[in-house]
Structure 1
Amino acid sequence: MSRKMKHQVLEGLTIERIASEGKCVAHYEGKVVFVSQVAPGDVVDVRVTKGRSSFLEGDVIHIQHYSPDREEPFCSHFGVCGGCKWQHISYPLQLSYKRQQVIDQFQRIAKVPIPEVQPIIGAASSTYYRNKLDYTFSNNRWLTKEEIDSGETFERSALGFHVPKRFDKIVDIQHCYLQEGISNEVRNSLRSFALAEAISFYDIVKQTGILRNLIIRNTLTTETMVIVQFGEDNAEAIEKVMSFLKTNFPQITSLLYVVNLKKNETFHDLDVITYSGRDHIEEEMEGLRFRIGPKSFYQTNPAQAQRLYEVAREFAGLTGEEVVYDLYTGTGTIASFVARQAKEVIGIEYVEAAIEDAKLNAEINGLTNTRFYAGDMKDMFTAEFIQQHARPDVVITDPPRAGMHADVVQTLLDLEAPKIVYVSCNPGTQARDVALLAEKYDVTAIQPVDMFPQTYHVENVVLLTKKSPSA
């Protein structure tokens, strides 16, 4: 029955609430209907795009009544580029929904007793908070319905973001509200210069063209890194582009480029050429300096990253006598952040280049009580590893969205450290892992942090304390 409903229009559905991944929920004849780009309280007409026995998915084709909680999106690209999907919802309401998302995930998945989830720590600024943006050049700009219907001919070159689910289509971004500083000016000026100089934009399908990708990184210390990826090793064009950027934007402290002839935009295995300035930028947090190279990972919302790390450190309850393990340490930012309050910090990370960054950052900051090791977490974090090093009093773990490998969870259970501080960008997989750890641990504190305003993503910190023998 449900498959036959595909393309059917369901009229007058009342949007009830926000569910996981930002989709909203309505009901039709006993079925759950998931709808995107709406707000609770909207009354909408929906065209069904997917049908299953237990639920439907659909797109809004008409809004009969707007929710009083709606706000006018501030970005002209809203609904097309795929970013900032919650612009139409007030920021206080976004925070409320994100906190509820954490509660729902723990009730539905973890199914263990939990304390009251603390009010979410919101961002001081809900726009211009990112320190890194990746733009793609394309000769196949996404055209709006109005442009297509007009029958006119339009410039097809674009520099912007991928249309969701369309790898070959790029939205030409005029102004992005995610990154402050010279970011918008650099992007728009480079686009205009390239068009005037007839420097080809990349053909994503044919994989030809000179200009391929633009990455802009900045810091709270007002340093800026610009990386240009070229799809062809064209010395004349490369010199034109890089000279233009150097001359017109002296604020760029690190001007780099990459020649990438591969079939994807990743460049971690390629040489990065320093055209002007330094080969890195530096961020500061609580007096600590962190060197960020073109291949380095660093939290994309640095102001909120400090709040997140403060929560993790508070949950750890360090007195200066503890040995701390920092699992999935990345470039060692959390490890360095807590090192001054710990006896020793041992960080483990599978990306070897990240570990080298971690060691360098520790050295820059004069931290002599940190040690870092590279290797697959499930292979490194074992009973043998623990026997060779000091047993931890506190384990801080910040895994990727997929959560922790089952072997890592089992090692934590065998280890029985007094405290585990679990930092996660995915409360669903975090709740799954907590359910497994509940055999020996109680959840004693939960603190969500909003790292990504205008989106449904939420970061969450959980404190797990070892159960007493009588428990």
Structure 2
Amino acid sequence: MEKKKSKQSVNVTAKKLGINGEGIGYLDGKPVFVDQLLPGETAEISLIETKERYAKGRINKRLNDSPLRILPACSVQGRCSGCPLMILQPQAQLQMKRELVQEALIKYAGLPRGRVQPVTASPLPLGYRNQCKLPIRQEHGQLVSGLYEEGSNRIIPIHSCLIHDEHLEALRKQIMGLLNKFKLSAYDPKTETGLRTLVLRYLDGQFQCVLVTGKSLLPSGLIEELKQIPGLVCLMQNINSDKRSRQLFSSRWKLLAGEDRLPVQLGRLQLNLSCASFFQLNRPQACQLYQKAASLIKPCTTLVEAYSGIGGISLMLKDKAKTIIGIESIQEAVDNANENARLNHADHVRFVCGDAAEEMKKISRKRKIDAVVVDPPRTGLDKAMIESLRQCRPAQIVYISCNPATLGKNIKELKDLYEVKTVIPFDMFPNTAHVETIVLLSKHL
């Protein structure tokens, strides 16, 4: 039991790291989550939230340093919520992420620790993000873009984000300078006007820019100057005037200049991206992950990908099956994916819009599904999707996960039908606590 300092403060020692990169210690058997505290470090903390099953603390004074602690390269690390692991040696980050996957699969699926392979490191430890989505605020009469302070809705203005591609950062600063030159205002929920968010994507020397605004007209002079930025091939406005909306984009788009698609190379594939399309933020690592996933699948007749987005994985697997069907719930992404199939002369690859579980059942009534690839959101596979997999019973399932906990729970639900053949974690986002994992499941004989 940890020593109590007073009613306001206590000493706690971190025993391990949590899924958000926070230190986890214990008081009277209750877990206490403390940001910026590494395993083995003891700190005097203030309890800022106490619940029946857990508590949260804030460091007043760190009493010792872990030998794995390093000075963060970023001056606002710890205040910004973006890179909680920048204080941890890179090799230790990889080990920590492997342990997160191991513990989740032990806890939920009873999988042996040794089944999880070492984490595949990212080719780029910094400068790997090809997109930013930064809220805009007004400070001292100037517009600033930045990231949210940990645990708040306050914006920390960012001079330079080290995990953004350097070209993306240069463009962000140039655009923010122009927005201030034309004296634009930040979003005002009372009038539902002004700038809300700056969204930028940079790939292969070309930029895509979206200004998310309220009910505002953008000055023609601003648009003309933005059009002159070298490499800017797509300039869009998204009008999202609903002050209660938690969605980044509304359905109201306005093309201000250029094309509404951004061409991008992914391995041997040529893809076109709409502004709203999801694309992996760390492209070099995404290529490694997709290539590994492809190498695990045996050639077959019919392959189905659930949650297929703009089709990158399905098209990367185009040589693995005679027929490939991707399922995605967002029509715009489906349209984008079918464009990409045509672009890559993949006539045997097609994409349909609908619920993944229902569409997979429909497909299975017409043909036998040999392999399934799933790349679900952090919530994992829902009950309907698990049931659909149990009914279709493909010989192989490749599960690409971004959440070890939901991965473990889903494997547990499939264990009686499938054997876990391999577990390969990937460090898609260095300096954060996120880890992607490929799992190959093979149907029991």
1:466 is aligned to 443
On the 8 A contact 1:115/1:445 being kept in 2, the answer is: no
TM-score normalized with structure 1 length: 0.88
Contact preservation (8 Å) 1:6, 1:50: no
Q: Is the 2:44–2:61 contact (alpha carbons within 8 Å) kept by the matching residues of 1?
A: yes
Distance in 2 (alpha carbons) for counterparts of 1:286 and 1:191: 33
Output the amino acid matched with 2:322: K
Partner amino acid, structure 2, of 1:228 = L
Give how far 1:268 is off.
Answer: 4.5
Alignment of 1:254-293 (within 5 A): 254-263=234-243, 264=245, 266-275=248-257, 277-293=258-274
> What does 1:17-416 correspond to in 2, within 5 Å?
17-112=16-111, 116-139=115-138, 141=139, 157-167=143-153, 169-203=154-188, 205-206=189-190, 208-219=192-203, 221-234=204-217, 237-247=218-228, 249-263=229-243, 264=245, 266-275=248-257, 277-318=258-299, 321-382=300-361, 384-388=362-366, 390-416=367-393
**TM superposition score normalised by structure 2:** 0.93
Cα drift, residue 207 of structure 1: 5.5
1:444-455 aligned within 5 A: 444-455=421-432
Q: Which residue of 2 aligns with 1:145?
A: none
Percent of counterpart pairs with the same letter? 27
CA distance in 2, matches of 1:33, 1:180: 35
Deviation readout 1:162-218 (Å, 9 max, x if unpaired): 334433x22111111122243222322333343344322223x53544322211101
How big is each residue's C-alpha offset from its partner over 1:29-77, in whole Å with a ceiling of 9 and x where there is no partner? 4433221112123221111122234433211111122211111111122
* Aligned residue pair count: 440
Name the aligned partner's letter for residue 189 of structure 1: Q
Answer yes or no: is the 8 Å Cα contact 1:6–1:49 preserved in 2. Answer: no
Q: Shift of residue 345 of structure 1?
A: 0.7
Cα pair distance change 1:368/1:328, threshold 3 Å: same
- Deviation of 1:94 (Å): 0.7
1:420-439 aligned at under 5 Å gives the runs 420-439=397-416
**1:150 paired residue number:** none
Relative distance call for 1:208 and 1:24 in structure 2 (3 A) is same
Provide closer, same or farther for how the CA distance between residues 207 and 299 of structure 1 changes in structure 2, counting only shifts above 3 A: farther
> Which amino acid in 1 is paired with 2:93?
Q
The 8 Å contact of residues 78 and 87 in structure 1, kept in 2 or not, is answered as yes
> Residues 114, 39 of structure 1: CA spacing in aligned structure 2 closer, same or farther, 3 A cutoff?
closer
Report the alpha carbon displacement of residue 253 of structure 1 after superposing the two structures with TM.
Answer: 2.2
Change (3 A) 1:436 1:160: same
What are the superposed Cα offsets for residues 398-448 of structure 1, whole Å, 9 maximum, x if unpaired?
Answer: 111111121221121122211111111111111111101111111111001
How far residue 352 of structure 1 moved from its aligned partner, in angstroms, is: 1.2
CA distance in 1, matches of 2:177, 2:420: 55
8 Å CA contact 2:236–2:253 kept in 1: the answer is: no
Q: Pick closer, same or farther for the CA change 1:113–1:76 going to 2, 3 Å.
A: closer
Contact kept? 1:47, 1:58, Cα under 8 Å: yes
Q: Which runs of 5+ in 1 are unaligned?
A: 142-153
In structure 1, the residue corresponding to 2:80 is in which secondary structure?
coil
SS state at 2:115 partner: coil
Change (3 A) 1:195 1:348: closer
Contact preservation (8 Å) 1:14, 1:41: yes
Give the 3-state SS of the residue equivalent to 1:392 in structure 2.
coil
Give, as a single letter, the amino acid of the residue that structure 2 aligns with 1:57. K
Shift of 1:224: 1.2
Contact 2:310 2:334 in 1 (8 A): yes
What SS class does the counterpart of residue 389 from structure 2 fall into?
A: helix
- The answer to whether the 8 A contact 2:424-2:438 is kept is yes
User: Aligned equivalents of 1:285 and 1:196: distance in 2?
Assistant: 37
Q: CA RMSD in A?
A: 2.2
Contact 1:113–1:443 (CA under 8 A) maintained in structure 2: no
The change in CA–CA distance for 1:409 and 1:252 in structure 2 (over 3 A counts) is: same
Take 2:172 and 2:337, find their aligned partners in 1: how far apart are those partners? 31
TM superposition shift of 1:15? 2.2
Residue ranges of structure 2 left out of the alignment (5+ in a row)? none
Deviations for 1:365-387, whole angstroms, at most 9, x for unmatched residues?
000111211111233222x4311
| Cα gap change, 1:54 to 1:260, in 2 (>3 Å) | closer
1:244 aligns to what SS in structure 2?
Answer: helix
